[in-house]
């Protein structure tokens, strides 16, 4: 037994020694003979492959869905050409000197700036624009020049930037912020720093916009972080023909940008402008000031708040509601005559600057915005009648487009955060003084600029309230429509005002421009109609005014309904809202070729 055991040990040792010998011979063969031979199926020798340690990646597209205007112009998610740098192969500094001189010229920097930035580069770099971390967007000609240089470590590549880096009044878009670790684990994109929608459409449409993965370009590098000689850049992509999704809005990008420019030039600091297609009720532009930069959000500044959806005191714009309530109740007629002495005599109410309008009809009182006329009507009306008229006209309630069980969401509300406004802050009062203050758009009354523009659309449709729409279609990546989002109505439970009352109010809005408070608008390219408003407010104990002008045009065949709200201005300042309203319609006229 003992001899047999010794034999087995000896044979085991001999076999093990033989195997070790074969392994040593094999390693020697690889090191001395095969190290300079190419690996089958690869462009590298064994020695080079041994040095490969990792890849260096650059994300070109996060895979997030894109938002477009009604004509397909990008609003969020635009592909631009940019210069991308990768780790270099080992080389002498002078090897590409001449080409780098030409590249520096294309990028608009000095040779020294370029050389110092890319020398010893170990991680991919997207060349930034001056004074920003944003990628420098190249023109097609510049991109072609970069490619013609044939530098192995520099490419002109398509890069998907979310925003263009400029401040805008598109707060309805929202912005992105870094996801929490828990949310990041659930993100389908797999990004190292996943981002999610934090406000506006970016947040509302987050389940649709997330995508299914990112597109990246990568380079293979050796242990020293240098690009492997002869290696080529490669691209990884999800390869899904359906994602990312494309979301088409009702916005006219050029009109939006034009109004943003006009508002800034007008000196508007706070407020909003809304332009609706008067036929469909679709939102063509919605501008909020102050402007915001979605890449640099200040939580304290509040620039990201969409003031078009925030309720403010409307002043005399609300007289449209008061007139509608009185006409619907049969408590007055367009021809009824009133007398204004400048002072109403009760409730400390007077016409602005004590102006005496004398004898005038209801239509004339509307045109000159006489407080005495509307205080008289308020004393005849009940609070319930005022409230019912407001609700019928789309005030004091949510009116934005929404749909149930749509695109995987129980309720899809693109304008989430829309404030309903109010008519009375508590129960409908029986107090005459409260009704008088309410009737002229003061006290507790608030409305949003979106509601104000939609109020005009409602009158143009004979009292039929439409739900303002900002989304119209969602499509797959291959262009196939996933879902159409048709317009719909937003009727009030209390019913609608009559077509006759609507027509009377529209004709009086034209009278405002021809004979009343909007006479400065008689010089616009198109004939327009509207209603002005000035509301007294207090901001941190300081008296301020909200200025409004809402209306439609062209007056003879309406195409647009516009509301302008300039908030928290000095009480002695000019009526910027009226002037800006006229400038916007001149812009609309010019863009329509009229």
pLDDT band (50, 70, 90) for residue 331: very high
Q: pLDDT band at 593, cuts 50/70/90? A: confident
CA distance 392 to 544: 30
Reply yes or no on whether the pLDDT at 3 is more than 70. no
pLDDT of residue 385: 95
Is 43's pLDDT higher than 50? Answer: no
440-469 pLDDT per residue, tens: 999 999 999 999 999 999 999 999 999 999
Torsion angle of the four alpha carbons 337, 343, 346, 347, in this order, in degrees rounded to the nearest 10: 120
pLDDT single digits (tens) 555-570: 999 999 999 999 999 9
Per-residue pLDDT, 101: 93
CA 170: distance to chain centroid? 4
DSSP state of 442: -
**The predicted structure's pLDDT at residue 122:** 85
* Contact (CB, 8 A) for 586 and 575: no
Phi–psi pair at 167, nearest 5 degrees = -70, 145
Cα–Cα distance for residue pair 344/528, rounded to 1 Å: 31
Please state, in angstroms and as integers, the Cα–Cα distance from residue 307 to each residue in 3, 201, 311, 381, 395, following that order. Answer: 98, 15, 8, 31, 16
Instruction: Count CB neighbours of 151 within 10 A.
Output: 17
Nearest to 459 by CA among 500, 422, 517: 500
Q: What is the pLDDT of residue 507?
A: 98
pLDDT for residue 51: 46
pLDDT at 40: 56
pTM for this predicted structure: 0.88
Q: Map out the domains of the chain with their CATH numbers.
A: 52-106+121-249 (3.90.1310), 253-292+307-592 (3.40.710.10)
Q: At what angle do helices 499-515 and 449-460 cross, to 10 degrees?
A: 110
Question: What was the pLDDT predicted at 48?
Answer: 47
Mean pLDDT of the 417-422 span: 96
Residues 308 and 419: their CA atoms lie apart, in Å, by: 10
Question: Of 538, 517, 540, which Cα lies nearest the Cα of 529?
Answer: 517
> Which residues are within 8 A (CB) of 240 and not within 5 positions of it... i.e. 6 or more apart?
212, 213, 477
Q: How far is residue 460's CA from residue 462's CA, in Å, rounded to a whole number? A: 6
Percent of the chain residues past pLDDT 90, beyond the cut: 68
Residues forming a β-bridge with 357: none
Strand 246-249: give its sheet, edge to edge: 74-76, 66-68, 246-249, 471-475, 481-484
Contact by Cβ (8 Å): 61, 191: no
Residue 254 phi, psi dihedral angles, 5° rounding = -65, -40
Percentage of the chain modeled with pLDDT above 70:
90
Query: Across 334-479, where does the E strand assignment appear?
Result: 337-340, 358-361, 403-406, 409-412, 471-475
pLDDT tens track for 478-494: 999 999 999 999 999 98
Q: For position 542, what pLDDT does the model report? A: 95
If you average pLDDT over residues 57-81, what whole number do you get?
94
The confidence score (pLDDT) of residue 47 equals: 53
Average predicted confidence (pLDDT) for the chain: 89
Report yes or no: 487 and 466 within 8 Å, Cβ to Cβ: yes
SS3 249: strand
Q: What is the mean pLDDT of residues 303-319?
A: 97
Beta bridge partners of 360: 338
* pLDDT tens by residue, 570-590: 999 999 999 999 999 999 999
pLDDT digits over 214-256, tens only?
A: 898 888 777 777 777 777 888 888 888 899 999 999 999 999 9
Nearest to 150, CA basis, from 114, 102, 115, 222: 102
Crossing angle of the two packed helices 371-380 and 432-439, in degrees rounded to 10: 140
């Amino acid at each position: 037994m003992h001899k047999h055991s010794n034999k087995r040990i000896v044979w085991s040792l001999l076999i093990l020694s033989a195997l070790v010998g074969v392994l040593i011979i094999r390693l020697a063969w690889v090191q001395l003979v095969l190290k300079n031979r190419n690996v089958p199926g690869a462009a590298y020798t064994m020695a080079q492959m041994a040095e490969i340690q990792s890849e260096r990646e650059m994300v070109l597209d996060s895979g997030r869905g894109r938002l477009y205007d009604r004509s397909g112009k990008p609003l969020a998610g635009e592909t631009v050409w940019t210069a991308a740098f990768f780790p270099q192969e080992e080389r002498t500094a002078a090897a590409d000197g001449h080409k780098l001189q030409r590249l520096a010229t294309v990028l608009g920097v000095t040779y020294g700036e370029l050389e110092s930035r890319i020398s010893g580069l170990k991680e991919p770099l997207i060349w930034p624009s001056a004074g920003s971390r944003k990628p420098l967007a190249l023109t097609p000609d510049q991109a072609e020049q970069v490619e013609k240089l044939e530098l192995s470590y520099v490419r002109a590549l398509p890069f998907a930037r979310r925003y263009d880096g400029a401040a805008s009044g598109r707060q309805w878009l929202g912005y992105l912020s870094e996801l929490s670790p828990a949310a990041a684990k659930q993100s389908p994109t797999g990004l190292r720093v996943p981002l999610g929608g934090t406000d506006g459409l970016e947040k509302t449409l987050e389940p649709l916009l997330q995508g299914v993965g990112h597109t990246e370009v990568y380079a293979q590098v050796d242990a020293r972080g240098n690009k492997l000689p002869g290696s080529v850049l490669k691209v990884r992509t999800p390869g899904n023909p359906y994602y990312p999704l494309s979301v088409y809005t009702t916005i006219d990008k050029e009109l939006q940008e034009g109004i943003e420019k006009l508002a800034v030039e007008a000196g508007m600091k706070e407020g909003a402008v809304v332009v609706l297609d008067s036929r469909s009720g679709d939102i063509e532009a919605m501008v909020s000031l102050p402007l915001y930069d979605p890449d640099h959000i200040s939580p304290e500044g509040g620039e990201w708040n969409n003031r078009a959806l925030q309720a403010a005191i409307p002043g005399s714009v609300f007289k449209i509601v008061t007139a509608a309530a009185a006409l619907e109740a049969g408590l007055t007629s367009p021809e009824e005559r009133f007398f204004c002495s400048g002072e109403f005599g009760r409730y400390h109410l007077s016409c602005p600057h004590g102006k005496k309008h004398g004898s005038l009809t209801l239509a004339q009182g509307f045109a000159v915005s006489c407080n005495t006329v509307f205080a008289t009507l308020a004393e005849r009306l009940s609070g319930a009648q005022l409230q019912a008229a407001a609700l019928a006209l789309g005030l004091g309630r949510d009116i934005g487009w929404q749909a149930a069980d749509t695109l995987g969401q129980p309720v899809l509300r693109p304008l989430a955060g829309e404030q309903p406004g109010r008519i009375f802050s508590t129960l409908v009062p029986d107090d005459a003084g409260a009704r008088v203050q309410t009737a002229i758009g003061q006290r507790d009354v608030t409305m949003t600029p979106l509601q104000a523009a939609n109020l005009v659309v409602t009158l143009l449709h004979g009292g039929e309230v439409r739900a303002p729409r900002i989304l119209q279609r969602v499509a797959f990546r291959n262009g196939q429509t996933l879902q159409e989002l048709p317009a719909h109505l937003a009727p009030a439970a209390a019913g609608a005002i009559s077509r006759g009352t609507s027509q009377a109010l529209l004709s009086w809005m034209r009278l405002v421009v021809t004979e009343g408070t909007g006479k400065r608008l008689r010089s616009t390219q198109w004939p327009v109609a509207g209603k002005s408003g000035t509301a007294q407010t207090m901001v941190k104990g300081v008296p301020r005014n909200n200025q409004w002008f809402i209306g439609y045009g062209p007056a003879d065949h309406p195409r647009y309904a516009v509301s302008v709200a300039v908030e928290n201005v000095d009480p002695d300042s000019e009526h910027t809202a009226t002037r800006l309203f006229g400038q916007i319609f001149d812009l609309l006229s010019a863009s329509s070729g009229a």
